[in-house]
Chains A and B, each alone.
Chain A
């Protein structure tokens, strides 16, 4: 919160918080309402009652403690995955590789766990897993950065394609060297308790969310308050001008993408050590792509990313209710997600146009 108070622009506009926030909230509510109304039509076509569907979602997703906790658990990797898109975006880079970087984060964490072994001091073990995950994610993103710097390969393509390579690396490891047992579905051994992230108070929320919130603040400060943050935005705005101004654009590109990769690696570690406890073939499935959407929804801004991640996590949890209470197919939640995306993006685009 200090970041907000210390913001110079905020001091220029001393209007009361509530009167300033209210119109924004109303606009968001309005936008979401449009998406929900359009979705109602689809529900009606499917023979389901929108009233039943929405009350079902409301009751089972937002009025149940367990569901709320689940939303927080699910939003954690999305926050970090979206920050992993936001940092390179500031340098004008498109990181579509969150999916693979998250997988490599899980792989890095698991590798550290297997290498350090369960005998290490619990805190040390977690730190080793975290560092290893960050390095793995950063290296994976670094490959794409190196390809751009050396061969001029567009990073949007290379990060995307590296996702498939990462999945193959994961499958190789869990099918062969790291496999729990030669029979049964390929998976690694379950983490010992000392290697699992602790929970917050008496909840089922792992401490990953705390790390994610802290890192959102850190990224915000790094982008807006540090010389590095300023430099990468200059390099992202006009690389040629930045070069003539004496900036090391190559180093800035490399650092922005690798820091993004490290953030995604942390997301993978948290998903592994906080939720899954085993690497399975489906590890991290869709987390990177959902994070990518969340980041665009939040227009690459760290704090709005928290809201976007919350929205996507809430949608994911409501998917169950939509099936169980309204009896519509599971895939309909993706339709609702798409409606919300289109509504929000259309809304922000029209605002920008109006402002211009």
Chain B
């Protein structure tokens, strides 16, 4: 009996949903661009791929959003965590727009497709994306922004290259995207600058945050004799704890996690998004977004201003001497001829990628697709 009752109910609900959905959509009005997208917006939205307390990437984003809230007390700041890198991201952004947001920060690399589709459908809304690169024409209401993460990773590589005794560094990463490849290469080259024999062994997890895979990757690296571990993951505590437990040293990423690795913490590259976010919000609220530096693939580093990536406090194992070397290198990175990839740069096969004396631009580094000599790992994996 209940079969028929539930049958009727099921069909009725499904039909009702279809009918309601079909009818009401006709009432939606399309909007057109007015040339000043996002001007005077009252609400700003942030979507994050992971939880806002992950000791990493998303926590840094969340703290940045808090800085925006503090700087603009009248603005409502919406945050959504655990937003996957697929079409559901577009749904979440659309929900934020329905709640009045005219500026959205899509903060994970893989949010770009969804960000661009939302921007296209909502010409009055600015959607900026963190970390990816728009390769086609950049729409009037969109853009990407990021820091040159690989610069501080080069400096952290100096600390790692000095500290290692096995001359083997380990790198747990998520996806072989240019940003990550540049980080790994810069880390290895920073280490090479003080220790020519050092190599960096890489393992990919195909996920921004999968503690199970992170644990397995960290263990296999430690088994290989690696004594300094670093990573490009969104949530960072698993790898750091694995290193600390086995007595290995750690270079952190995204957030200062020295408290969970009091012994082995060397340093790390950590975010300070507040100033960049605040400036983007100000630009959009003023109606000046179109044609601004953010209506582009905006990159900021030691050469061009305040890198939102800063070096974390040093751990007990880093000597005064090393700190001085790092400071000197940082100054050099800020000069015209300074770069983690100042030529000559050879790739894994020994092919010359940057000629002697060559200094690649930030834009060049954004499309890096090879590992340098000294990095162990297959990019296609």
Tell me which residues across on chain A come within 8 A of B78, comparing CB atoms: 324
Contact A301/B3 with A71-B17, A276-B86 known, Cβ cut-off 8 Å: yes
- A280 CB to closest chain B CB (Å) equals 6
0/1 per residue, B71-112, Cβ < 8 Å to A? Answer: 000000011111111111001101110110000000001100
Tell me whether B10 and A304 are in contact (CB under 8 A): yes
Tell me which residues across on chain B come within 8 A of A310, comparing CB atoms: 13-14, 17
Q: Please report the C-alpha to C-alpha distance between residue A86 and residue B51 in the assembled complex, in whole angstroms.
A: 34
Q: Which residue of A lies closest to B91 (CB)?
A: A70
Q: Which of B2, B13, B110 contacts A307 (CB 8 A)?
A: B13
0/1 per residue, A38-66, Cβ < 8 Å to B? Answer: 00000000000000000000001000111
* Interface: A282 (CB within 8 A): yes
Q: Which residue of B lies closest to A213 (CB)?
A: B14
Q: Which residue of A lies closest to B12 (CB)?
A: A21
Tell me whether B177 and A68 are in contact (CB under 8 A): no
Q: Which of A20, A25, A307 has the most CB of B within 10 A?
A: A307
A-B contact pairs, 22 of them (CB 8 A): A9-B3, A24-B6, A65-B27, A71-B17, A182-B369, A183-B178, A183-B368, A185-B109, A185-B175, A186-B175, A186-B176, A204-B25, A285-B86, A301-B6, A303-B6, A306-B14, A320-B91, A320-B95, A323-B79, A323-B80, A324-B45, A329-B51
Interface size on A, residues (CB 8 A): 64
Tell me which residues across on chain A come within 8 A of B13, comparing CB atoms: 306-307, 310
* Interface: A209 (CB within 8 A): yes
- A181 CB to closest chain B CB (Å) equals 9
Tell me which residues across on chain B come within 8 A of A66, comparing CB atoms: 25, 28, 94, 98
* Interface: A175 (CB within 8 A): yes
User: Besides A4-B11, A9-B1, A281-B206, 7 other CB < 8 A contacts?
Assistant: A1-B11, A175-B380, A185-B109, A185-B177, A307-B6, A323-B81, A324-B95
Tell me whether B175 and A281 are in contact (CB under 8 A): yes
Q: Which of A9, A20, A303 has the most CB of B within 10 A?
A: A303
Tell me whether A205 and B87 are in contact (CB under 8 A): no
Tell me which residues across on chain A come within 8 A of B92, comparing CB atoms: 320
Q: Please report the C-alpha to C-alpha distance between residue A17 and residue B8 in the assembled complex, in whole angstroms.
A: 9
5 nearest A-B residue pairs (beta carbon): A65-B24, A330-B82, A303-B10, A303-B7, A306-B10
* Interface: A270 (CB within 8 A): no
Contact A184/B177 with A1-B11, A282-B86 known, Cβ cut-off 8 Å: yes
CB-contacts of B11-62 with A (<8 A): 11, 13-14, 17-18, 20-22, 24-28, 45, 51-52
- B38 CB to closest chain A CB (Å) equals 18
Tell me whether A21 and B5 are in contact (CB under 8 A): yes
CB-contacts of A198-214 with B (<8 A): 200-205, 209, 213
* Interface: A35 (CB within 8 A): no
- B232 CB to closest chain A CB (Å) equals 13
Q: Which of B25, B51, B175 contacts A330 (CB 8 A)?
A: B51
CB-contacts of A139-183 with B (<8 A): 171, 175-176, 182-183
Q: Which residue of A lies closest to B379 (CB)?
A: A182
- A134 CB to closest chain B CB (Å) equals 23
* Interface: A114 (CB within 8 A): no
Tell me which residues across on chain A come within 8 A of B369, comparing CB atoms: 182-183
* Interface: A354 (CB within 8 A): no
Q: Please report the C-alpha to C-alpha distance between residue A282 and residue B175 in the assembled complex, in whole angstroms.
A: 12
Q: Which of A21, A68, A171 contacts B9 (CB 8 A)?
A: A21
* Interface: A337 (CB within 8 A): no
Tell me which residues across on chain B come within 8 A of A3, comparing CB atoms: 7
Tell me which residues across on chain A come within 8 A of B367, comparing CB atoms: 183
Q: Which of B4, B21, B176, B381 contacts A68 (CB 8 A)?
A: B21
Q: Which residue of A lies closest to B366 (CB)?
A: A183
* Interface: B263 (CB within 8 A): no
Q: Which residue of B lies closest to A285 (CB)?
A: B84
* Interface: B113 (CB within 8 A): yes
* Interface: A226 (CB within 8 A): no
* Interface: A119 (CB within 8 A): no
* Interface: A290 (CB within 8 A): no
* Chain B contact residues, CB within 8 Å of chain A: 1-11, 13-14, 17-18, 20-22, 24-28, 45, 51-52, 78-88, 91-92, 94-96, 98-99, 109-110, 113, 132, 175-178, 206-207, 367-369, 380-381
0/1 per residue, A313-331, Cβ < 8 Å to B? Answer: 0001100110111000111
- B277 CB to closest chain A CB (Å) equals 18
Tell me which residues across on chain B come within 8 A of A69, comparing CB atoms: 21, 25
* Interface: A32 (CB within 8 A): no
CB-contacts of A1-35 with B (<8 A): 1, 3-4, 7, 9-10, 13, 17, 20-21, 24-25
Tell me whether B113 and A330 are in contact (CB under 8 A): no
Tell me which residues across on chain B come within 8 A of A292, comparing CB atoms: none
Tell me whether A21 and B18 are in contact (CB under 8 A): no
Q: Which of A175, A185, A316 has the most CB of B within 10 A?
A: A185
Q: Please report the C-alpha to C-alpha distance between residue A307 and residue B5 in the assembled complex, in whole angstroms.
A: 12
* Interface: A36 (CB within 8 A): no
Q: Which residue of B lies closest to A281 (CB)?
A: B206
Q: Which of A4, A282, A325 contacts B85 (CB 8 A)?
A: A282
Tell me which residues across on chain B come within 8 A of A301, comparing CB atoms: 3, 6
Tell me which residues across on chain B come within 8 A of A60, comparing CB atoms: 95, 98-99
Q: Which of B9, B22, B91 contacts A25 (CB 8 A)?
A: B9
Q: Please report the C-alpha to C-alpha distance between residue A268 and residue B4 in the assembled complex, in whole angstroms.
A: 29
Q: Please report the C-alpha to C-alpha distance between residue A3 and residue B189 in the assembled complex, in whole angstroms.
A: 70
Tell me whether A10 and B4 are in contact (CB under 8 A): yes
* Interface: A113 (CB within 8 A): no
CB-contacts of A55-100 with B (<8 A): 60, 64-72
Tell me which residues across on chain A come within 8 A of B27, comparing CB atoms: 65
Tell me whether B7 and A4 are in contact (CB under 8 A): yes
Tell me whether A65 and B6 are in contact (CB under 8 A): no
- A191 CB to closest chain B CB (Å) equals 12
Q: Which of A10, A202, A276, A281 contacts B207 (CB 8 A)?
A: A281
Q: Which of B8, B80, B82 contacts A21 (CB 8 A)?
A: B8
Tell me whether A72 and B18 are in contact (CB under 8 A): yes
* Interface: A283 (CB within 8 A): yes
Contact A171/B22 with A186-B175, A324-B78 known, Cβ cut-off 8 Å: no
Q: Which of B25, B45, B178 has the most CB of A within 10 A?
A: B25
Tell me whether B4 and A203 are in contact (CB under 8 A): no
Tell me whether A200 and B91 are in contact (CB under 8 A): no
* Interface: A194 (CB within 8 A): no
Q: Please report the C-alpha to C-alpha distance between residue A106 and residue B381 in the assembled complex, in whole angstroms.
A: 21
Q: Which of B21, B80, B81, B369 has the most CB of A within 10 A?
A: B21
* Interface: A345 (CB within 8 A): no
Tell me whether A184 and B178 are in contact (CB under 8 A): yes
CB-contacts of A288-316 with B (<8 A): 298, 301, 303-307, 310, 316
